[in-house]
């Protein structure tokens, strides 16, 4: 019943779950009039549950990561404690939603969700937490009741399709230079030196592979506009190596100060460098991708689990 990268079902089956969406953690799947229907949804990212929502009596109650003194009830900010058809209370280290028929849903405002249901719901449950029939071996089932072959298939089945699932974010740097950051906001930045476009924020270093993307600008000499600058170099630091693509230096890159041909492959595919259309791409196995057209345009793509965890000109999101 703990959501996050790790789930333990009602019947105590353990599995790892890596999602970046909203999923049905637990819900009632039989039409028994003696059982009050309800659903528990979680938004999961790499580091655990970031939001928990309980749907009951046609209402929605949402507890959000880091927000301890209030919840959203049908979209409205409501301070705690709250008493109505359900009770929502805050404790030292978690908030708890309790129904009149004995369901408890707690969230520690950070990563862990716990769902407790009374034994009247035995065998009536479904979702990522399983069916609650005391058999741990039959818990991973799709919405249609068939056995899931993997946690990925299970996740797709219980994903809330009307909710957005962000897969990646892109930051674009183009000549002049104009920026479109990971949040898709535009700004201009015309310094003529090197600067960090994106790197893993310090606070995240224990949870993720460290990386940085440094871009160097140079005055554009083809026109007489004095303020124009273009990106002339992009350096990616990852896995203890530095890879540099330099403007107009076609078919080659610097790897730790050694000129190397493209395509290039580091550590059995941990990092790959290859031509993609008119650009060169540096692709890292945890989902980072940097492309440079070798003239003026650089794109930096980060995977969903790094969104809000990067610092630099592409976005300093850490709160």
Binding site for Ca ion (CB under 5 A): 11, 130-131, 133, 135, 138-139
How near is the Cβ of 127 to Ca ion at its closest, in Å? 12
CB nearer to Ca ion: give 128 or 253.
Answer: 128
How near is the Cβ of 120 to Ca ion at its closest, in Å? 16
How near is the Cβ of 319 to Ca ion at its closest, in Å? 39
Residues 6 or more apart whose Cβ sits within 8 Å of residue 146 = none
**Could you give the strand order of the β-sheet that contains 229-238, starting from the edge strand earlier in sequence?**
258-261, 252-255, 241-246, 229-238, 211-219, 194-200, 310-311
CB nearer to Ca ion: give 59 or 135.
Answer: 135
How near is the Cβ of 123 to Ca ion at its closest, in Å? 8
Which single residue brings its beta carbon nearest to Ca ion? 11
| Chain CA centroid to CA 211, Å | 17
d(CA 149, CA 130): 14
CB nearer to Ca ion: give 133 or 242.
Answer: 133
Burial of 49 (C-beta count, 10 Å sphere; 0-12/13-18/19+): buried
DSSP string covering 127-165: STT---SS-GGG--B-TTSPBPSSHHHHHHHTB-TTS--
| Chain CA centroid to CA 39, Å | 23
How near is the Cβ of 9 to Ca ion at its closest, in Å? 7
CB nearer to Ca ion: give 112 or 131.
Answer: 131
How near is the Cβ of 131 to Ca ion at its closest, in Å? 5
Determine phi and psi for 148, rounding to 5 degrees: -80, 140
Burial of 270 (C-beta count, 10 Å sphere; 0-12/13-18/19+): middle
Q: Residue 58's CB: how many other CB atoms inside 10 A?
A: 8
């Amino acid at each position: 019943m703990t959501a996050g990268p790790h789930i333990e079902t009602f019947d105590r089956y353990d599995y790892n779950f890596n999602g970046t969406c909203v999923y049905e953690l637990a819900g009632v799947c039989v039409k028994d009039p003696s059982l009050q229907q309800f659903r528990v949804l979680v938004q999961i990212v790499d580091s655990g549950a970031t939001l928990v929502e309980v749907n009951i009596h046609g209402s929605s109650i949402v507890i959000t990561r880091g927000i301890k003194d209030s919840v959203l009830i049908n979209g409205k900010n409501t301070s705690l404690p709250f008493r109505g058809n359900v009770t929502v209370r805050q404790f030292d280290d978690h908030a708890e939603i309790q129904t009149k028929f004995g369901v408890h849903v707690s969230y520690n405002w950070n990563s862990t969700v716990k769902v407790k249901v009374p034994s009247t719901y035995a065998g009536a449950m479904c979702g990522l937490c399983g069916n609650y029939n005391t058999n741990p071996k039959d818990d991973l089932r799709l919405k249609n009741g068939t056995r899931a072959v993997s946690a990925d298939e299970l996740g797709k089945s219980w994903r809330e399709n009307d909710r957005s699932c962000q897969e990646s974010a892109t930051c674009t740097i183009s000549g002049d230079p104009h920026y479109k950051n990971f949040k898709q906001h535009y700004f201009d930045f015309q310094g003529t030196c090197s600067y960090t476009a994106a790197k893993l924020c310090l606070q995240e270093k224990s949870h993720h592979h460290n990386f940085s993307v440094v871009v160097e600008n140079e005055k554009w000499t083809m026109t007489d506009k004095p303020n124009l600058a273009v990106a002339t170099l992009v350096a990616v630091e990852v896995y203890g190596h530095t890879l540099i693509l330099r403007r107009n230096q076609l078919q080659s890159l610097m790897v730790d100060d050694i000129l190397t041909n493209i395509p290039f492959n580091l550590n059995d595919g941990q990092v790959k460098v290859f031509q993609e259309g008119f650009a060169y791409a540096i692709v890292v196995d945890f989902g980072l991708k940097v492309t440079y057209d070798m003239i003026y345009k650089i794109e930096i793509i980060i995977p969903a689990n790094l969104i809000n965890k990067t610092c630099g000109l592409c976005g300093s999101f850490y709160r």
